[in-house]
């Protein structure tokens, strides 16, 4: 793999606080807008804030899939919840924290340690998370087929999902 890659994204303002994201290599366009929490924000449309959190969350998934494949981890399912915290820091709005709760379902308790290692390696190597100033919190969970969830979460973040 080459050391440099470029990702072209175009944006065209449509009306009000809405625009359309596109890329010459992608078929699907994405409507974006100011989030509803801001003046003239638009409900029900992806905002830059949602896209930033989605980028970190989807990067974690793609990194996990790559690491799981090279580690030969046999898993049944992967899903992940994410939430970003927007606040004013030093007089400027920023996404200061992103909490990720990846959930991996495995078939056998004997795979639990391997799944934990794959999750840890995925967290360490998530290039989008590594590119941000925001503090990234990882609260991984491992489910064993139709067994109780082995929870790794603690504290304040449990109530926000």
On whether both 12 and 65 belong to a single domain, the answer is no
Tell me the backbone φ, ψ of residue 77, rounded to 5 degrees.
-155, 155
Domain, as residue range, for 39? 1-46
Q: Which pLDDT tens digit goes with each residue over 54-108?
A: 999 999 999 999 999 999 999 999 999 999 999 999 999 999 999 999 999 999 9
On whether both 131 and 95 belong to a single domain, the answer is yes
On whether both 69 and 135 belong to a single domain, the answer is yes
On whether both 40 and 57 belong to a single domain, the answer is no
- What's the predicted TM-score (pTM) here? 0.87
On whether both 93 and 104 belong to a single domain, the answer is yes
Overall domain count for the chain: 2
> With 80 as the cut, is the pLDDT of residue 149 above it?
no
In order, the DSSP letters of 40-67 are T--TTSB-HHHHHHHHHHHHHHHHHHHH
On whether both 54 and 123 belong to a single domain, the answer is yes
On whether both 126 and 140 belong to a single domain, the answer is yes
Q: Which pLDDT tens digit goes with each residue over 106-140?
A: 999 999 999 999 999 999 999 999 999 999 999 99
């Amino acid at each position: 793999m080459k050391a440099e890659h470029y990702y072209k994204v175009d944006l065209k303002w449509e009306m009000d606080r809405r625009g359309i994201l596109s890329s010459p290599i992608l078929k699907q366009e994405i409507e974006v807008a100011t989030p509803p929490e801001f003046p003239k924000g638009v409900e029900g449309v992806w905002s830059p804030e949602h896209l930033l959190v989605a980028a970190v969350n989807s990067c974690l998934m793609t990194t996990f899939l790559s690491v799981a494949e090279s580690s030969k981890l046999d898993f049944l399912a992967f899903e992940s919840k994410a939430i970003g915290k927007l606040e004013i820091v030093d007089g400027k709005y920023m996404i200061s924290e992103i909490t990720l709760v990846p959930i991996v379902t495995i078939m056998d308790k004997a795979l639990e340690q391997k799944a934990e290692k794959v999750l840890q390696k995925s967290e360490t190597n998530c290039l989008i998370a590594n590119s941000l100033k925001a503090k990234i919190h990882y609260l991984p969970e491992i489910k064993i087929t139709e067994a109780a969830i082995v929870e790794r979460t603690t504290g304040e973040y449990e109530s926000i999902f």
